Amino acid sequence: MKNAHEIDYKIFGQEMQLVEITLDQYETAVAEPGSFIMMDEGIEMKTLFGDGSNTDHQDGIWGKLLSAGKRVLTGEKLFMTAFTNLLPERQKVSFASPYPGRIIPLDLSSHEGKVICQKDAFLCAAKGVSIGIEFSKRLGRGFFGGEGFIMQKLEGDGLAFMHGGGMIVRRELAYGETLRIDTGCLMGFTREVDYDITFIKGVKNIFFGGEGLFFATLTGPGTVWIQSLPFSKLADRIIKHAPSYGGKRQGEGSVLGGLGDILMGD
C-alpha cells in the first residue's frame, strides 16, 4: 500500500510549462510557495510547516521542526503549501515552472524510492513525499560541485515533479559507464549513481575554455537528468550583457576579463 497520495496529472506548454494535478476527494498535493497558478473552487489551500510528509501523530513537533530545518539548509522556505480536494467530484490545481524549461514527472516507486536533485529543482508532489537533504561526503564535490555540500532528495512512493532550465536530457547509465557534465547542468540522478568532481586538464582549457575548472562525473548504474540551461548560467549571461556603471558591459572571456574580450572579438 502506498503512503503517498495517488494523484493524476497533465503537463501543458513548451518553453514555459505548467502541471495540472487532478485530485480525488481528500487527496492532497504539496508545492513550493509561489508556484501556484489556479485551482477549482472545491480545493482548500493550507500552509504547512515543513514538507507535509509527517502527519500530526508522527514524530510530533520535533519531526516537523526537523522537516522544516532540512528545507532551510537547502535554501528553501520553512513552509510549503498543501492543496486538498474537499468535494466528492474531482478537482484540479495547477503549478507553473519559475523560468523557461521543462517539468519532469517522477514516479519515485520506480526509482527505488529516492531521487537526488539540485537544490531548487523541486516544484510539487503528492502529499507523503519527503523533501529532504543529501549531504556530500566528498570534499571535492562539496567545494567545487556547484551545489555545495547539500543537495535535495525526494523520497517516498508517490509522484514528484522536478523543474530544470532549457531542454532536459535523460541518460540511462550502465554499470561502470561514466558521463561528464558541466557542474551547473546536473539536474538530478538516482540513488545508485556515483557522483564526483573531475579537474579539467590542460592550461589552454583552463584559461581559454570558458567552461570552469571542473566537470561533474557520474558513474552508473542509474538514471541522470541533465538541463541544457541552468538558471545560474542564464543569469550570468544576462548580467554579462547588461550595462554596468559607466555604460560598459562586464567582460567575458573566462578568467581573462578585458583581455578575454579582445581575444573573443568583443
Mean per-residue pLDDT for 74-101? 87
* Coil, helix or strand at residue 162: strand
Half-sphere exposure of 78 (CA within 13 A, CB side): 4
Q: Residue 74's pLDDT is what?
A: 52
CB 128 within 8 A of CB 159: no
pLDDT of 60: 53
pLDDT tops 90 at residue 143:
no
Rounded CA-CA distance 76/235 in Å is 19
**Among positive and negative, which fits the CA dihedral 252, 253, 255, 257?**
negative
Cis bond upstream, residue 221 (ω within 30): yes
What residues are paired with 28 via a beta bridge? 84
In this prediction, residue 251 carries a pLDDT of 45
| Distance of alpha carbon 243 from alpha carbon 149, whole angstroms | 34
Model confidence pLDDT, tens digit, residues 238-266: 787 777 655 554 444 444 454 445 444 45
pLDDT at 1: 65
pLDDT (tens digit per residue) in 205-222: 444 444 556 788 999 999
Q: With bands split at pLDDT 50, 70 and 90, how would you rate the model's confidence at 108?
A: very high
Q: Does position 11 have pLDDT exceeding 90, yes or no?
A: yes
pTM flag (> 0.85): no
In the 8-state DSSP scheme, what is residue 183?
Answer: G
Band of residue 73 on the pLDDT scale cut at 50, 70, 90: low
Burial of 235 (0-12, 13-18, 19+ CB in 10 A): exposed
pLDDT in tens, 170-209: 999 999 999 999 888 999 999 999 998 887 654 444 444 4
Q: What is the pLDDT of residue 56?
A: 42
Say how far apart CA 128 and CA 125 lie, in whole Å: 8
Structural domain spans, the chain: 8-229
pLDDT at 149 over 60: no
Backbone angles phi, psi at 241, to 5 degrees: -100, 0
Regarding the domain delimited by 8-229, which CATH topology (the fold level of the hierarchy) does it fall under?
Double-stranded beta-helix (3.60.160)
Length of the chain: 266
Name the helix (H) or strand (E) containing 206.
Answer: helix 203-208
pLDDT tens sequence across 27-48: 999 998 889 999 999 999 998 8
